Amino acid sequence: MTLMHELFLTALPYLYSSIATIAVAGYLPQIYRLAKSRGSSEDLSLVTWWIWLSTWLISLSYGAFIMKDWRFCMIALVNIAGHIAVIGLGTYNCYFRVKTKPSPDSISAADHLHKS
């Protein structure tokens, strides 16, 4: 085994753990924009964010019960927290911050599915 290979294998767990920091850096601009928004955030697809949240919940369960990998679970928890923040702020903006209902032209296909 070469020295570079050994250094890489030694550094890999720390690099892997840094994914949580990178994820936070990715969520912060979206969370900031939603928190500062004065509109209804109609362009935010809450259905998509719910789907992504469900994938992270399944991933967390897999990491905890099958892989038993605490680093993976921490990364999953950070992503779950980011998704919950975006969903919460998006929901607040869409349904509570703006008192008027969205116009029929702005209702997404997903909203039509829920009405039928």
Highest mean pLDDT among 8-12, 13-17, 96-100: 8-12
pTM above 0.95, yes or no: no
Distance between CA atoms of 50 and 59, rounded to whole angstroms? 14
Please give the mean pLDDT across all residues of the chain.
88
Give the pLDDT confidence of 71-88 residue by residue, as tens digits. 999 999 999 999 999 999
Q: What's the mean pLDDT in 45-61?
A: 97
Give the pLDDT confidence of 13-44 residue by residue, as tens digits. 999 989 999 999 999 999 999 999 988 888 89
Spell 70-106 as b/e; 16+ CB within 10 A means b. Answer: eebbebbebbbebbebbbebbbebbeeebeeeeeeee
In 1-116, where does DSSP find H-type helix? 3-17, 19-36, 46-62, 70-92, 109-115
Residue 35's pLDDT is 95
Residue 100's pLDDT is 59
